[in-house]
């Protein structure tokens, strides 16, 4: 597995609670704002979409690209972050 960012490590280390969408690895200020404008203002709302898509990497990456314009690295970082969080907490 590729190395993970500090942001990723911090996110997967604890329950999600009310963390903002920008707490997700791969989601910065610009993508976070785009997601929030579409109703995905909290990390748990993006997690809900991740689960609706049955944790399927290709479907989630496509959704993220279509919803906020995330590039391949951002898609992969966000997917990996949510997958690892689910593996730890679900």
- Does residue 35 sit within a domain? yes
Tens of pLDDT, residue by residue over 27-41, are 999 999 999 999 999
Tokens (6 digits) for 49 = 């979409």
What per-residue confidence (pLDDT) applies to 52? 98
CB 32 within 8 A of CB 19: no
CB 61 within 8 A of CB 79: yes
- Does residue 38 sit within a domain? yes
What per-residue confidence (pLDDT) applies to 2? 55
Give the domain CATH number at 22: 1.10.150.40
- Does residue 52 sit within a domain? yes
Domain count, the chain: 1
Give the range of the structural domain holding residue 25, as residue numbers without chain letter.
Answer: 6-89
What per-residue confidence (pLDDT) applies to 10? 93
- Does residue 1 sit within a domain? no
Residues (pLDDT < 50) of the chain are 1
- Does residue 11 sit within a domain? yes
């Amino acid at each position: 597995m590729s190395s993970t960012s500090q942001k990723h490590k911090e996110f997967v280390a604890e329950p999600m609670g009310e963390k903002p969408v920008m707490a997700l690895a791969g989601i910065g200020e610009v993508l976070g704002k785009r997601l929030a404008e579409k109703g995905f203002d909290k990390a748990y709302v993006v997690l809900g979409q991740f689960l609706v898509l049955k944790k399927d990497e290709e479907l989630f990456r496509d959704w993220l690209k279509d919803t906020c314009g995330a590039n391949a690295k951002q898609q992969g970082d966000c997917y990996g972050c949510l997958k690892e969080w689910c593996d730890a907490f679900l």
